Every structure is written in C-alpha cells, then in structure tokens.
Structure 1
C-alpha cells in the first residue's frame, strides 16, 4: 500500500536535506534530494492552511541558501493557488477507494445485524459525515463491495444476480441523495486509511467515535458489480421486471422461501378442511338422530349458578403443521418408491406369428429354387453358367438343364 506524506514527514525530510547541503555544499546528491521533495509536494492534493504555514516556518528556519529557499517558497505558493486543493468546495465527484477502514465498530455491527436497506443507510451516513457530497464510481464500487461482503461472508447469503446488484447500486445512490450533508469540507481524493487524516478532520467527522481501521480485501467482489446498465455483466441476461425492491433473503433465490411458506400454509388449510369434512360426513347421521336426546351425564349435572366461575375446558389438541423437513421427507419417499417399482418389459412375440413368418420365408426360397435360370446351349455343351450366346436376352436356340441333358442328346445323335 502506497504511503501518503503528512506535514511532519515533509518537515523532517526538509531538515535532512538542509543538513546534507550544509555538509556537502557542492554535492549533487543534496540538490537531487531537494528536487524530489518538491515533486512530492505536488503529489499531495489536500493541503490545509495550518499545514502550509507550518511548512513555511520550516523552510524559513532551514539552513539553506537563499536561492534554494526562494525556489521552495515558489513551489509552495503554486500549491496554495492550485485548483486541486481539498479546500475547494465543489460538486465534482469525490473518490474514496478503500471504505472498510473508515467504518467504526458500531457501523460493522449494524451492517452485520441489519438488512440490506439498513446497510445502505449506514454507509451513506458515514460517507456524509466524512464531508462527501458526490460519489465517484470507485466510491460506489467500494460501498457496494462492503455490502456484498457483509451479505455473503457475514450473513451467509448467496451472491445476488447481476441485475439485482445493479438495482442495489441505484438504491444506494438514491439513499445517498436523501441523507443530510455535514458541514465538514470534504476532500477530492480521500487517503487509503483514515490514520492519514488530520486530528481536527477526524474529530469533526467521527466525534467521540474512532474508525475501526479494519482491512477487508474486496478485490474478488469488485469484478461482479455492474455500475452501469451497459456493463458486460448484464449483456445476454434478460432484464426482469422490478415491481418493488426485493427483500434481502430473496435477492438471489427469486423469493423461493416466501413461496414455499405460502404453499405450506395453503396445504395445511386444505388438510384441515378435508379432515373436518370427513368427520362431518362420517358422524352426521348419528348427530342428527341424537341431538335432541339428553345424555345421562348431562341430565345428572346440576344447573350452573349465575355467578359461578366457568368450568375449565378440556385442552384442544392441535395437530402440528408439517414443516419444510416433512415435505422434503415426503418427496424423498416418493422418489425411492419410484426406484423400487418393477420395470415393465415389452411382451415377446407369439410363436404362431413367428412360425407363419418362417414358413413364408421358406416357401419363397422354394419357389425361387424351383425355377432356376438355365443358360446352357449347344455351344457351351449345357454349361449351367452359360456363354455369351445363350446369355443374350434374344437367344432363341435350345437350352439344356445341365450337362447331363446335353450328354444324352449327344449320345443319341452320335456326337463326340
């Protein structure tokens, strides 16, 4: 973490530079150290009048050549006339990059125990107490990082969706605008730690409290915060309708817990109505028949006196309503019963249909085998494969069904 120099640091550094130039007047090391000191003077943007007056006194008392004193004085005059001073009151956005160290112990306790709306109010009031009038984007990112850190790591809630985080940023901006301003003049850029602020500034900002100086790493949360509607985190995600600000527990689950509670209440009401209807249907006839007949116990009881205390009523047993665990057990039992069911198999084909099919195939084969194609002729001497002459579709000569027919004809005619 970079260190921001205070007025005491500049005064001590100026004393060391003057001693170095006094010991080695012609050395370039002392002049280079003085130039570095002047550059560091320009790096601080929150010079107060008390700090500048103290630095003027140190330069006047330092054992430096007059030319070097005038050079340092001119640099300080340029600082006091610069528009970058923290004394300038303007509505330009102010930057506070590291918010966790600025929160007090009571702030952290309220963030952990309260809701998301309460957390936004606590952070905005703390920023207003520090003299902030307008938040820069890094200030909004740091504030949202603290809220998400409390939600996920301290309250153990799931991370909200990108659109829910974007709406939380808009709510934070509105809450900041409705908080009252503090009379403390704010800074354009706040240091990384409140320990670098002056004692007078901290007394006006915190009063009797003190910042907790808690260091919390929010680097893993910052990339998940969409500050604008054109953020890459929101591209490709359909924008849901926002009817009302979502409660803290329903930011990520879409109100699942609330819907589950309504379902349980409706289920219990339907169950009670069904039980009452069943009891009325089972004992309705006997009640109608015996409603005018006094029972022996009621006839033997004496009449109650007007001023007598009422008799104690028998305790009415109320069935406990099933909770979420009971519904989970019922769903588990239903799934396990499905697994134990016997799997239905496809019935096998009947033997009659199989035999008919096989017979048809056999008959087709026999028909094809009974009428073979014959190509034998006198030229190929009854060769079953035939020759070019008898294979021709236009052949009109005599065909032989194998070599034996040709041999019989050749024997009859005396061919060799």
Structure 2
C-alpha cells in the first residue's frame, strides 16, 4: 500500500475494478447502501472503496448523470456530482463501488457514458432484483409518498397499459423491467460482468442479501453488525397509505414538489408513520397474480438466455401465492385511517411545539448576546476611538464564537511576514 496526498490509503496492487450497483428500487438498496456507507472505513481496509462523505453523494451523482429534475424542480446540489464521484474512483486503484437505484432509470446513452467515465477500469454492473409480485405494491406505496393519488387498482391498470401521461408511470418500467435495465446497462459489457443478485423470498435469513451482494464485490467479512441497518425502510400499512393519498388529493400550489417530498414523504411518512406498527400489511391482490407471474416468467427466461452471472436463484423472481393474510392495498378501514390520522396530527403538533420552543430559545440567546454587546460598547465609550474598537471586538469575541473565529483569523494574518 502507499499513501495518498490527502492521507488516505491507496491500493497499489490488484485490478482496478468498479462495481456499479444500479438498483432496482425497493430491492434492499437502502439496506445495502447503509452497509456500504456505514462500514466504508472497514471495507477500505480490505481494498474496497465506497467514495462518499455524505450518504446522499451517490444519489446526487445519479441525478447529475441523468440531468434529472423533480416535477420541474432541479436539484442544484447535484451539479458536477458525477464528475466529482468519478474523480474519487480514479484516485483509488483497488475496487470501488457506486450505488444508487436512481441509476436504474438511465437511458442507454447515459449508461454507456457512465461506464466509459471509469475507463480504463474493469467495470461491472450489479442489479439487485426482487419478484414483481412484491415490487408492485412497494412501488405504488413510494409513488403515493411522492404525491400519487390513484388507488392501487387504478395505478396497476395504468401500469399494465403502459400509460405514459404521468412521469411516475413512465419511471416504473424504466426501473422495474429487469431485462430492459440489464440491456441498457450491460450492452457494452461481457455477460460475466453483469451480475443479477436475487432477493430471497420472505423467511430467509436477514443477512442473505448482504452475503450475496458482498460476494460479488469480493468482500468476505464476518465482523459487520447487520442488525444496525436491518430494519430500514420497513414500509407502511393500508391505512397509512390511504391517509397519504388523501393528503395528496388536498395538495395545491403552496407546496412545490421538493417541499412536498421533504414534508410529506420525509417528515410525515418516514419520520412519523413508519414509527408505528403498520395498520394492515398489504400485498398483491390474488387475482392479479397470474398476469404478474406470466410477465415474471418471460423476464426470467430472458435473463437466463443472456448468460448473466446470477447470484441467488432466478426462481426467486417468480411471485408466489402468499398465504400470510396480507390485505388488498385498497382495503383500508375508515376507523384505522382516522386513528392513524389522529396519531400523525398529534405527533406533528408535538414537533411544531418543540421547534417553536427551540426557535424562541435561539431568539432569547441572540437577545442576550445583543444586550451584552451593548453593555460592552457602553463601558468603552470614553476610550480613544481605536482602542474602543479593539477592546469592544475582543470582549464580544469572548461571548460569540463567530466573532472569536474571525478575530483569530485576523490575528493569524497579522503575524504573517
């Protein structure tokens, strides 16, 4: 090993390989990304780099690659993010991992450009895949969090007809059609460098997905605590989703898409509703299973014929007739919706009260600092002008960190020859 200019350890041996984990959404990607990000220091010691200072770094890179906006609202944080990420990958001579499910939606040209940006490294594409019977309800739930108002049945019918009048409907097939995604991303690669990692059926050991994914990367560690991130993104029940659909129906122009996603998806859905036990877990209605299974069988045949490296079992991509009492996604009980709504309203009220108190305390602290500054100015009023300014700034700096920092910078500059 040798040292980098920035103090990081740089691998001097072994092939330079890049693993592009492109999704798909709702296939354990959040779990895997938390493992990669949370244990990036440990993985780096094994020669595997997950180049990120912030959890969202790879998200912004994927957004930048595709020049995505969100219902017309751009993300300025994404500007230049792909180039920054590729630069960090090129600075590491071992194995690098790039992971975000937004990559699944890339066009063929964008996918080719992404792969070419890592040349001359050996690029691999990794797709985590789950059976369509579980993907459909999960994807609909995510769409509702983003403002979708359709019932599941209405949404499914639009998906099945491949309607494209709504960006969410267009996005569905771009990030869920497994053979199409693999073709877009794998067309310039030999099939042995395209890896399909299947998500096991319910009941499998919680560590199975990570073990399969890690084996593709060449990671073999048994000292990582899987329980730390094993319960992320656990989903909502029928009543919670029905409540979110009702809220989406009330939306007006006072909230743009970015604000809506932050407040409704982030604060209400993830930070509030996901903290309670789901009011009725739901799944694919049984009458839709034959059509969904037929589609899945075609996908499995196409993947098998393409000769990709499969980690897991392609039979896990075939939906099963689940007998676990899951509800129809549209079968929410009015009493459950009212109960969940009251809980959400109370939690929001508590949060608002806490934020108001924090803001009031901040205002009181500022007022105390202002009063103290006025006292210092009054004390030094009779001094000569230059001395008055100097002593006043020093006194205020003792009470205010920002002023003290500026004063420290000034002193260092004064000491320079």
Please classify the TM superposition score into its range, dividing by the shorter chain length: under 0.3
Q: Which has the larger radius of gyration?
A: 1
State the TM-score, normalized to the length of structure 2.
0.24
Greater RCO (Cα-Cα under 8 Å, separation 6 or more): 2
**Could you tell me the TM-score, scaled by structure 1's length?**
0.24
